[in-house]
Amino acid sequence: MRISAAFALVVGFLLRIAFFHFFPQTEGDVAVYSDLAANLVRHGQLAATDPSGHLHLTLIRLPGYPLFLAACFRLFGVGNLFAVCVVQSLLDAVACLLLADLARRLAFDLARRRGSNSTGFGAGLLALWIAALCPFTAIYVCAPLTEGPTLFCIALACWAALRFQDRPGWRFALLFTAAIAWAALLRPDGALLALALAPAMFSRSVRSALPPGRLARLSLACALLALFPFALWAARNGRDFHVFQPLAPRYASDPGDSSDLGFESWSGTWTLDFVNTVTAYWPVPGDAVDLNSIPPRAWSSEADRQRLLTLFRNYNQHGFHTTHAMNAALAEIAQQNRRVHPWRSRLLIPALRSADMWLRPRVENLPIDLDWWVYPHHHDETIFSWSYAALNLLLLVLGFLGLALCPRLAGSMLLYMLLRSLLLATVEGPEARYTLECLPMLIVTASVWLGSRRLPRQPAQTRTAAPNKPLSAE
Protein backbone atom coordinates (compact mmCIF):
# COMPACT_ATOMS: atom_id res chain seq x y z
CA MET A 1 0.00 0.00 0.00
CA ARG A 2 2.87 2.36 0.73
CA ILE A 3 4.35 1.65 -2.69
CA SER A 4 1.01 2.42 -4.34
CA ALA A 5 0.69 5.67 -2.34
CA ALA A 6 4.23 6.76 -3.26
CA PHE A 7 3.58 5.92 -6.91
CA ALA A 8 0.38 8.01 -6.85
CA LEU A 9 2.27 11.01 -5.49
CA VAL A 10 5.04 10.68 -8.10
CA VAL A 11 2.57 10.33 -10.98
CA GLY A 12 0.56 13.28 -9.67
CA PHE A 13 3.68 15.44 -9.41
CA LEU A 14 4.72 14.55 -12.97
CA LEU A 15 1.20 15.33 -14.20
CA ARG A 16 1.43 18.84 -12.77
CA ILE A 17 4.88 19.41 -14.28
CA ALA A 18 3.55 18.21 -17.66
CA PHE A 19 0.61 20.62 -17.45
CA PHE A 20 3.02 23.46 -16.70
CA HIS A 21 5.23 22.52 -19.64
CA PHE A 22 2.54 21.99 -22.27
CA PHE A 23 -0.08 24.51 -21.10
CA PRO A 24 1.78 27.36 -19.35
CA GLN A 25 -0.28 30.24 -18.00
CA THR A 26 1.31 33.68 -17.99
CA GLU A 27 -1.52 36.14 -18.63
CA GLY A 28 -4.43 37.65 -16.72
CA ASP A 29 -4.23 37.15 -12.98
CA VAL A 30 -0.86 35.42 -13.34
CA ALA A 31 0.68 38.63 -14.66
CA VAL A 32 -0.99 40.68 -11.92
CA TYR A 33 0.26 38.47 -9.09
CA SER A 34 3.74 38.18 -10.60
CA ASP A 35 4.01 41.96 -10.82
CA LEU A 36 2.89 42.41 -7.21
CA ALA A 37 5.34 39.75 -5.98
CA ALA A 38 8.24 41.17 -8.00
CA ASN A 39 7.65 44.63 -6.52
CA LEU A 40 7.55 43.12 -3.02
CA VAL A 41 10.96 41.57 -3.61
CA ARG A 42 12.55 44.57 -5.32
CA HIS A 43 10.92 47.46 -3.50
CA GLY A 44 9.33 45.98 -0.37
CA GLN A 45 5.92 47.31 -1.37
CA LEU A 46 2.68 45.70 -2.46
CA ALA A 47 2.52 47.85 -5.54
CA ALA A 48 1.44 47.51 -9.17
CA THR A 49 3.38 48.72 -12.19
CA ASP A 50 1.41 50.99 -14.51
CA PRO A 51 1.93 51.04 -18.31
CA SER A 52 4.48 53.86 -17.97
CA GLY A 53 6.60 51.78 -15.59
CA HIS A 54 5.77 53.71 -12.43
CA LEU A 55 4.78 51.97 -9.20
CA HIS A 56 1.69 52.74 -7.19
CA LEU A 57 0.46 51.11 -4.02
CA THR A 58 -2.59 48.94 -4.49
CA LEU A 59 -5.19 46.98 -2.55
CA ILE A 60 -6.82 45.18 -5.48
CA ARG A 61 -5.49 41.84 -4.23
CA LEU A 62 -5.13 40.43 -0.74
CA PRO A 63 -1.52 39.96 0.36
CA GLY A 64 -1.62 36.19 0.93
CA TYR A 65 -0.62 35.05 -2.55
CA PRO A 66 1.73 37.93 -3.45
CA LEU A 67 3.69 37.19 -0.25
CA PHE A 68 3.83 33.49 -1.14
CA LEU A 69 5.03 34.29 -4.66
CA ALA A 70 7.52 36.80 -3.32
CA ALA A 71 9.01 34.12 -1.04
CA CYS A 72 9.40 31.81 -4.05
CA PHE A 73 10.94 34.62 -6.13
CA ARG A 74 13.39 35.50 -3.38
CA LEU A 75 14.50 31.88 -3.07
CA PHE A 76 14.57 30.89 -6.73
CA GLY A 77 14.73 34.15 -8.69
CA VAL A 78 12.21 36.81 -9.65
CA GLY A 79 9.93 35.53 -12.41
CA ASN A 80 10.86 31.86 -11.94
CA LEU A 81 7.38 30.45 -12.41
CA PHE A 82 8.63 26.89 -12.82
CA ALA A 83 9.92 26.99 -9.25
CA VAL A 84 6.49 28.22 -8.15
CA CYS A 85 4.95 25.26 -9.99
CA VAL A 86 7.26 22.83 -8.18
CA VAL A 87 6.60 24.36 -4.75
CA GLN A 88 2.84 24.35 -5.28
CA SER A 89 2.96 20.78 -6.59
CA LEU A 90 4.82 19.66 -3.48
CA LEU A 91 2.31 21.53 -1.34
CA ASP A 92 -0.48 19.79 -3.23
CA ALA A 93 1.16 16.42 -2.56
CA VAL A 94 0.75 17.15 1.13
CA ALA A 95 -2.88 18.12 0.45
CA CYS A 96 -3.43 14.78 -1.31
CA LEU A 97 -2.09 12.95 1.75
CA LEU A 98 -4.35 14.97 4.04
CA LEU A 99 -7.38 14.16 1.89
CA ALA A 100 -6.40 10.49 1.88
CA ASP A 101 -6.18 10.40 5.68
CA LEU A 102 -9.45 12.31 5.94
CA ALA A 103 -11.18 9.77 3.67
CA ARG A 104 -9.66 6.89 5.66
CA ARG A 105 -10.96 8.25 8.95
CA LEU A 106 -14.42 8.98 7.58
CA ALA A 107 -14.60 5.50 6.02
CA PHE A 108 -13.46 3.96 9.29
CA ASP A 109 -16.24 5.78 11.14
CA LEU A 110 -18.75 4.60 8.55
CA ALA A 111 -17.51 1.03 8.86
CA ARG A 112 -17.94 1.16 12.64
CA ARG A 113 -21.51 2.34 12.19
CA ARG A 114 -22.14 -0.59 9.87
CA GLY A 115 -20.54 -3.06 12.24
CA SER A 116 -17.58 -3.74 9.98
CA ASN A 117 -13.96 -4.10 11.00
CA SER A 118 -12.68 -2.23 7.94
CA THR A 119 -9.85 0.20 8.66
CA GLY A 120 -10.78 2.55 5.80
CA PHE A 121 -7.39 2.28 4.12
CA GLY A 122 -9.03 1.35 0.82
CA ALA A 123 -11.00 4.60 0.75
CA GLY A 124 -7.87 6.52 1.75
CA LEU A 125 -5.85 5.03 -1.09
CA LEU A 126 -8.67 5.78 -3.54
CA ALA A 127 -8.77 9.39 -2.36
CA LEU A 128 -5.01 9.70 -2.81
CA TRP A 129 -5.12 8.43 -6.38
CA ILE A 130 -8.14 10.53 -7.35
CA ALA A 131 -6.67 13.69 -5.80
CA ALA A 132 -3.27 13.10 -7.38
CA LEU A 133 -4.63 12.40 -10.87
CA CYS A 134 -7.57 14.84 -10.95
CA PRO A 135 -6.82 16.93 -14.06
CA PHE A 136 -9.17 19.72 -13.03
CA THR A 137 -7.18 20.62 -9.93
CA ALA A 138 -3.76 19.61 -11.31
CA ILE A 139 -3.78 22.19 -14.10
CA TYR A 140 -4.40 24.97 -11.58
CA VAL A 141 -1.95 23.69 -9.00
CA CYS A 142 0.84 24.13 -11.56
CA ALA A 143 -0.29 27.68 -12.40
CA PRO A 144 0.88 30.76 -10.45
CA LEU A 145 -2.64 31.39 -9.16
CA THR A 146 -4.36 31.27 -5.79
CA GLU A 147 -6.17 28.01 -6.53
CA GLY A 148 -3.19 25.78 -5.69
CA PRO A 149 -2.55 27.07 -2.14
CA THR A 150 -6.31 27.38 -1.58
CA LEU A 151 -6.81 23.68 -2.28
CA PHE A 152 -4.11 22.96 0.30
CA CYS A 153 -5.84 25.18 2.86
CA ILE A 154 -9.16 23.40 2.30
CA ALA A 155 -7.57 19.99 2.76
CA LEU A 156 -5.76 21.11 5.91
CA ALA A 157 -8.84 22.80 7.38
CA CYS A 158 -11.08 19.77 6.85
CA TRP A 159 -8.46 17.38 8.23
CA ALA A 160 -7.72 19.58 11.26
CA ALA A 161 -11.44 20.00 12.01
CA LEU A 162 -11.95 16.25 12.03
CA ARG A 163 -8.86 15.64 14.16
CA PHE A 164 -9.99 18.33 16.59
CA GLN A 165 -13.28 16.49 17.02
CA ASP A 166 -11.32 13.35 17.92
CA ARG A 167 -8.73 15.01 20.14
CA PRO A 168 -9.66 18.60 20.96
CA GLY A 169 -6.65 20.68 21.85
CA TRP A 170 -4.35 23.46 20.78
CA ARG A 171 -2.45 21.61 18.07
CA PHE A 172 -5.35 20.91 15.73
CA ALA A 173 -7.10 24.17 16.63
CA LEU A 174 -4.04 26.17 15.57
CA LEU A 175 -3.66 24.16 12.36
CA PHE A 176 -7.31 24.86 11.56
CA THR A 177 -6.85 28.55 12.34
CA ALA A 178 -3.78 28.79 10.11
CA ALA A 179 -5.64 27.08 7.26
CA ILE A 180 -8.73 29.28 7.32
CA ALA A 181 -6.69 32.46 7.82
CA TRP A 182 -4.42 31.76 4.85
CA ALA A 183 -7.42 30.73 2.73
CA ALA A 184 -9.06 34.09 3.43
CA LEU A 185 -5.77 35.93 2.82
CA LEU A 186 -5.54 34.28 -0.59
CA ARG A 187 -9.07 35.19 -1.71
CA PRO A 188 -11.93 36.92 0.14
CA ASP A 189 -14.23 33.95 -0.48
CA GLY A 190 -11.82 31.84 1.57
CA ALA A 191 -13.71 33.12 4.61
CA LEU A 192 -16.55 30.75 3.67
CA LEU A 193 -14.34 27.89 4.83
CA ALA A 194 -14.41 29.22 8.37
CA LEU A 195 -18.17 29.81 8.28
CA ALA A 196 -18.83 26.23 7.17
CA LEU A 197 -16.31 24.32 9.26
CA ALA A 198 -16.08 26.31 12.50
CA PRO A 199 -19.43 25.00 13.85
CA ALA A 200 -18.07 21.44 13.48
CA MET A 201 -15.25 22.42 15.79
CA PHE A 202 -17.79 22.76 18.61
CA SER A 203 -19.74 19.55 18.20
CA ARG A 204 -21.31 17.81 21.18
CA SER A 205 -18.34 15.48 21.60
CA VAL A 206 -15.94 18.42 21.72
CA ARG A 207 -18.05 20.33 24.24
CA SER A 208 -18.20 17.27 26.48
CA ALA A 209 -14.45 16.64 26.20
CA LEU A 210 -13.28 20.16 27.08
CA PRO A 211 -14.19 22.21 30.16
CA PRO A 212 -16.27 25.25 29.11
CA GLY A 213 -13.62 27.70 30.28
CA ARG A 214 -10.84 26.05 28.33
CA LEU A 215 -13.00 25.80 25.21
CA ALA A 216 -13.87 29.51 25.49
CA ARG A 217 -10.21 30.51 25.87
CA LEU A 218 -9.17 28.33 22.94
CA SER A 219 -11.94 29.72 20.74
CA LEU A 220 -11.13 33.32 21.60
CA ALA A 221 -7.40 32.84 21.00
CA CYS A 222 -7.98 31.21 17.61
CA ALA A 223 -10.45 33.90 16.56
CA LEU A 224 -7.98 36.65 17.45
CA LEU A 225 -5.15 34.88 15.63
CA ALA A 226 -7.31 34.42 12.53
CA LEU A 227 -8.38 38.09 12.51
CA PHE A 228 -4.95 39.54 13.28
CA PRO A 229 -3.56 39.59 9.70
CA PHE A 230 -6.74 41.24 8.45
CA ALA A 231 -6.43 43.90 11.12
CA LEU A 232 -2.91 44.63 9.83
CA TRP A 233 -4.19 44.73 6.25
CA ALA A 234 -7.05 47.05 7.20
CA ALA A 235 -4.63 49.32 9.08
CA ARG A 236 -2.32 49.47 6.07
CA ASN A 237 -5.21 50.34 3.75
CA GLY A 238 -6.50 52.94 6.18
CA ARG A 239 -3.07 54.56 6.39
CA ASP A 240 -2.29 54.54 2.65
CA PHE A 241 -5.76 54.88 1.10
CA HIS A 242 -7.88 56.33 3.94
CA VAL A 243 -10.52 53.62 3.55
CA PHE A 244 -11.67 50.71 5.70
CA GLN A 245 -10.89 47.65 3.59
CA PRO A 246 -10.13 44.49 5.60
CA LEU A 247 -10.46 42.26 2.53
CA ALA A 248 -10.20 43.11 -1.19
CA PRO A 249 -12.69 45.27 -3.11
CA ARG A 250 -15.34 43.33 -5.00
CA TYR A 251 -14.39 44.75 -8.40
CA ALA A 252 -10.60 44.82 -7.88
CA SER A 253 -10.25 48.59 -8.11
CA ASP A 254 -8.23 50.98 -5.99
CA PRO A 255 -9.93 53.93 -4.25
CA GLY A 256 -10.52 56.65 -6.81
CA ASP A 257 -10.42 54.29 -9.80
CA SER A 258 -13.50 53.70 -11.89
CA SER A 259 -15.13 50.38 -11.07
CA ASP A 260 -17.69 50.58 -13.92
CA LEU A 261 -20.61 49.82 -11.64
CA GLY A 262 -23.14 50.39 -14.40
CA PHE A 263 -21.44 47.85 -16.64
CA GLU A 264 -21.19 45.40 -13.75
CA SER A 265 -24.88 45.81 -12.90
CA TRP A 266 -25.93 45.28 -16.52
CA SER A 267 -23.64 42.24 -16.90
CA GLY A 268 -25.19 40.67 -13.82
CA THR A 269 -28.59 40.59 -15.51
CA TRP A 270 -27.57 38.36 -18.43
CA THR A 271 -24.12 36.70 -18.26
CA LEU A 272 -24.46 32.94 -18.00
CA ASP A 273 -21.26 31.17 -18.94
CA PHE A 274 -17.56 31.43 -19.69
CA VAL A 275 -18.24 32.45 -23.30
CA ASN A 276 -19.99 35.59 -22.05
CA THR A 277 -17.05 36.24 -19.74
CA VAL A 278 -14.48 36.03 -22.55
CA THR A 279 -16.38 37.81 -25.30
CA ALA A 280 -18.14 40.59 -23.39
CA TYR A 281 -17.13 40.84 -19.72
CA TRP A 282 -13.33 40.63 -19.77
CA PRO A 283 -12.80 43.07 -22.68
CA VAL A 284 -14.33 46.01 -20.76
CA PRO A 285 -12.43 48.20 -20.37
CA GLY A 286 -9.40 48.01 -22.64
CA ASP A 287 -10.46 45.82 -25.55
CA ALA A 288 -13.09 45.61 -28.27
CA VAL A 289 -16.47 43.99 -27.68
CA ASP A 290 -17.96 41.85 -30.45
CA LEU A 291 -21.49 43.18 -30.75
CA ASN A 292 -22.70 39.85 -32.16
CA SER A 293 -21.64 38.14 -28.92
CA ILE A 294 -24.27 39.97 -26.86
CA PRO A 295 -27.38 37.74 -26.67
CA PRO A 296 -31.02 38.94 -26.68
CA ARG A 297 -31.39 38.37 -22.93
CA ALA A 298 -29.07 41.37 -22.41
CA TRP A 299 -31.94 43.76 -23.21
CA SER A 300 -35.66 43.93 -22.56
CA SER A 301 -36.87 45.98 -25.52
CA GLU A 302 -35.87 46.97 -29.03
CA ALA A 303 -35.13 50.48 -27.79
CA ASP A 304 -32.66 49.09 -25.24
CA ARG A 305 -31.10 46.92 -27.93
CA GLN A 306 -30.47 49.91 -30.15
CA ARG A 307 -29.14 51.84 -27.18
CA LEU A 308 -26.70 49.04 -26.36
CA LEU A 309 -25.48 48.86 -29.95
CA THR A 310 -24.83 52.58 -29.95
CA LEU A 311 -23.04 52.48 -26.60
CA PHE A 312 -20.67 49.70 -27.61
CA ARG A 313 -20.07 51.07 -31.11
CA ASN A 314 -18.91 54.30 -29.47
CA TYR A 315 -16.86 52.30 -26.98
CA ASN A 316 -15.14 50.32 -29.76
CA GLN A 317 -14.48 53.44 -31.83
CA HIS A 318 -13.05 55.63 -29.07
CA GLY A 319 -10.20 53.67 -27.59
CA PHE A 320 -12.12 51.06 -25.56
CA HIS A 321 -12.65 53.42 -22.63
CA THR A 322 -15.75 53.48 -20.44
CA THR A 323 -17.33 56.78 -19.44
CA HIS A 324 -19.69 57.95 -16.71
CA ALA A 325 -22.39 58.41 -19.36
CA MET A 326 -21.91 54.85 -20.61
CA ASN A 327 -22.10 53.40 -17.10
CA ALA A 328 -25.18 55.47 -16.30
CA ALA A 329 -26.91 54.23 -19.46
CA LEU A 330 -25.98 50.60 -18.74
CA ALA A 331 -27.28 50.96 -15.18
CA GLU A 332 -30.62 52.14 -16.59
CA ILE A 333 -30.77 49.18 -18.98
CA ALA A 334 -29.96 46.83 -16.10
CA GLN A 335 -32.74 48.36 -14.02
CA GLN A 336 -35.14 47.93 -16.93
CA ASN A 337 -34.09 44.28 -17.37
CA ARG A 338 -34.87 43.59 -13.72
CA ARG A 339 -38.18 45.42 -13.95
CA VAL A 340 -39.41 43.61 -17.07
CA HIS A 341 -37.91 40.18 -16.27
CA PRO A 342 -37.57 40.08 -12.47
CA TRP A 343 -37.53 36.29 -12.11
CA ARG A 344 -35.15 35.79 -15.00
CA SER A 345 -32.70 38.47 -13.91
CA ARG A 346 -32.75 37.85 -10.18
CA LEU A 347 -33.23 34.07 -9.94
CA LEU A 348 -33.02 32.08 -13.18
CA ILE A 349 -29.85 33.61 -14.62
CA PRO A 350 -27.92 33.51 -11.30
CA ALA A 351 -28.98 29.86 -10.83
CA LEU A 352 -27.93 28.92 -14.36
CA ARG A 353 -24.68 30.82 -13.90
CA SER A 354 -23.82 28.78 -10.83
CA ALA A 355 -24.86 25.54 -12.56
CA ASP A 356 -22.63 26.36 -15.51
CA MET A 357 -19.63 26.75 -13.22
CA TRP A 358 -20.35 23.34 -11.68
CA LEU A 359 -21.06 21.39 -14.88
CA ARG A 360 -19.12 23.06 -17.68
CA PRO A 361 -16.16 21.10 -19.14
CA ARG A 362 -13.08 22.39 -17.33
CA VAL A 363 -11.09 23.03 -20.51
CA GLU A 364 -10.59 26.79 -20.20
CA ASN A 365 -6.81 26.38 -19.79
CA LEU A 366 -6.48 23.99 -22.72
CA PRO A 367 -6.14 25.00 -26.42
CA ILE A 368 -9.82 24.37 -27.14
CA ASP A 369 -12.20 26.79 -28.83
CA LEU A 370 -14.92 28.46 -26.81
CA ASP A 371 -17.53 26.83 -29.06
CA TRP A 372 -16.30 23.34 -28.16
CA TRP A 373 -19.79 21.91 -28.54
CA VAL A 374 -19.96 22.57 -32.32
CA TYR A 375 -18.90 19.10 -33.48
CA PRO A 376 -18.61 19.89 -37.25
CA HIS A 377 -16.02 22.60 -36.49
CA HIS A 378 -13.61 20.45 -34.48
CA HIS A 379 -14.44 16.78 -33.94
CA ASP A 380 -11.59 15.94 -31.56
CA GLU A 381 -12.03 19.02 -29.37
CA THR A 382 -15.75 18.38 -29.00
CA ILE A 383 -15.25 14.73 -28.08
CA PHE A 384 -12.53 15.64 -25.60
CA SER A 385 -14.66 18.38 -24.02
CA TRP A 386 -17.66 16.11 -23.61
CA SER A 387 -15.36 13.49 -22.07
CA TYR A 388 -14.06 16.10 -19.63
CA ALA A 389 -17.64 17.12 -18.83
CA ALA A 390 -18.57 13.48 -18.21
CA LEU A 391 -15.56 12.98 -15.94
CA ASN A 392 -16.48 16.11 -13.99
CA LEU A 393 -20.10 14.95 -13.69
CA LEU A 394 -18.98 11.49 -12.52
CA LEU A 395 -16.90 13.04 -9.75
CA LEU A 396 -19.83 15.22 -8.68
CA VAL A 397 -22.28 12.30 -8.63
CA LEU A 398 -19.93 10.05 -6.65
CA GLY A 399 -19.14 12.90 -4.27
CA PHE A 400 -22.78 13.62 -3.51
CA LEU A 401 -23.49 9.91 -3.12
CA GLY A 402 -20.77 9.93 -0.49
CA LEU A 403 -22.35 12.91 1.22
CA ALA A 404 -25.65 11.00 1.29
CA LEU A 405 -23.97 8.43 3.54
CA CYS A 406 -23.75 11.22 6.15
CA PRO A 407 -20.11 10.81 7.18
CA ARG A 408 -18.73 13.19 9.75
CA LEU A 409 -18.32 16.75 8.44
CA ALA A 410 -20.90 16.02 5.73
CA GLY A 411 -23.08 18.88 6.94
CA SER A 412 -20.14 21.29 6.98
CA MET A 413 -19.03 20.24 3.51
CA LEU A 414 -22.53 20.62 2.12
CA LEU A 415 -22.88 24.02 3.79
CA TYR A 416 -19.60 25.17 2.25
CA MET A 417 -20.74 24.11 -1.23
CA LEU A 418 -24.11 25.79 -0.77
CA LEU A 419 -22.58 29.06 0.46
CA ARG A 420 -20.07 29.02 -2.36
CA SER A 421 -22.75 28.34 -4.97
CA LEU A 422 -24.88 31.20 -3.66
CA LEU A 423 -21.88 33.52 -3.79
CA LEU A 424 -20.93 32.40 -7.30
CA ALA A 425 -24.46 33.11 -8.50
CA THR A 426 -23.69 36.81 -7.97
CA VAL A 427 -20.44 36.77 -9.99
CA GLU A 428 -20.82 38.77 -13.20
CA GLY A 429 -17.97 36.98 -15.00
CA PRO A 430 -18.48 33.25 -14.39
CA GLU A 431 -15.52 30.85 -14.66
CA ALA A 432 -15.54 27.11 -14.03
CA ARG A 433 -12.44 27.44 -11.83
CA TYR A 434 -14.52 29.11 -9.12
CA THR A 435 -16.03 25.74 -8.15
CA LEU A 436 -12.64 24.00 -7.92
CA GLU A 437 -12.57 24.66 -4.18
CA CYS A 438 -15.42 22.18 -3.73
CA LEU A 439 -13.56 19.32 -5.42
CA PRO A 440 -11.31 18.30 -2.47
CA MET A 441 -14.38 17.63 -0.34
CA LEU A 442 -16.09 15.75 -3.17
CA ILE A 443 -12.96 13.68 -3.80
CA VAL A 444 -13.05 12.60 -0.15
CA THR A 445 -16.74 11.76 -0.09
CA ALA A 446 -16.55 10.00 -3.47
CA SER A 447 -13.74 7.83 -2.12
CA VAL A 448 -15.76 7.08 1.01
CA TRP A 449 -18.72 6.00 -1.12
CA LEU A 450 -16.58 3.82 -3.39
CA GLY A 451 -14.86 2.31 -0.37
CA SER A 452 -18.20 1.62 1.30
CA ARG A 453 -19.22 -0.61 -1.61
CA ARG A 454 -16.59 -3.08 -0.46
CA LEU A 455 -17.38 -3.08 3.25
CA PRO A 456 -17.93 -6.64 4.50
CA ARG A 457 -21.12 -7.29 6.39
CA GLN A 458 -20.70 -8.78 9.85
CA PRO A 459 -23.08 -11.02 11.77
CA ALA A 460 -25.79 -9.25 13.73
CA GLN A 461 -24.16 -9.75 17.11
CA THR A 462 -20.92 -8.23 15.83
CA ARG A 463 -22.74 -5.26 14.35
CA THR A 464 -24.22 -4.37 17.72
CA ALA A 465 -20.91 -4.52 19.54
CA ALA A 466 -18.64 -2.85 17.01
CA PRO A 467 -19.88 0.75 17.49
CA ASN A 468 -18.65 0.64 21.10
CA LYS A 469 -15.07 0.04 19.97
CA PRO A 470 -12.85 2.80 21.40
CA LEU A 471 -11.60 5.45 19.00
CA SER A 472 -8.01 4.46 19.70
CA ALA A 473 -8.66 1.25 17.73
CA GLU A 474 -8.02 3.17 14.54
Give the model confidence (pLDDT) of 211-227 as tens digits.
888 888 999 999 999 99
pLDDT of residue 472: 33
Share of the chain above pLDDT 70, in %: 95
Q: In angstroms, rounded to a whole number, what is the distance separating the alpha carbons of residues 422 and 355?
A: 11
Cα-Cα-Cα-Cα dihedral of 121, 126, 132, 134, to 10°?
A: -160
155 CB burial (10 A radius; 0-12, 13-18, 19+) = buried
What's the CA gap between 82 and 334, in Å, rounded? 44
pLDDT grade for 51, boundaries at 50, 70 and 90: confident
What pLDDT band is residue 464 in, cutting at 50, 70 and 90? very low
Nearest to 129 by CA among 451, 466, 463: 451
User: For residue 27, is pLDDT > 50?
Assistant: yes
Residue 465's pLDDT band (cuts 50, 70, 90): very low
Average pLDDT, the chain: 91
- The per-residue b/e assignment along 253-283, b for 16 or more CB within 10 angstroms, e otherwise, is bbeeeeebbbbbbbbbbbbbbbbbbeebbeb
Pair type for strands 47-49 and 55-57: antiparallel
Q: Which of 143-147, 198-202, 205-209 has the highest mean pLDDT?
A: 143-147
- The pLDDT confidence band at residue 206, using thresholds 50, 70 and 90, is confident
Query: Region 368-382: what's the mean pLDDT?
Result: 87
For residue 135, the one-letter residue type is P
Counting runs of H as helices and runs of E as strands, what totals does the chain give? 21, 2
pLDDT digits (tens, 9 = 90+) for 1-17: 789 999 999 999 999 99
Q: How far apart are CA 116 and CA 126, in angstroms?
A: 19
Query: Does the pTM of the predicted model rise above 0.85?
Result: yes
Q: How confident is the model at residue 457 (pLDDT cuts 50, 70, 90)?
A: low
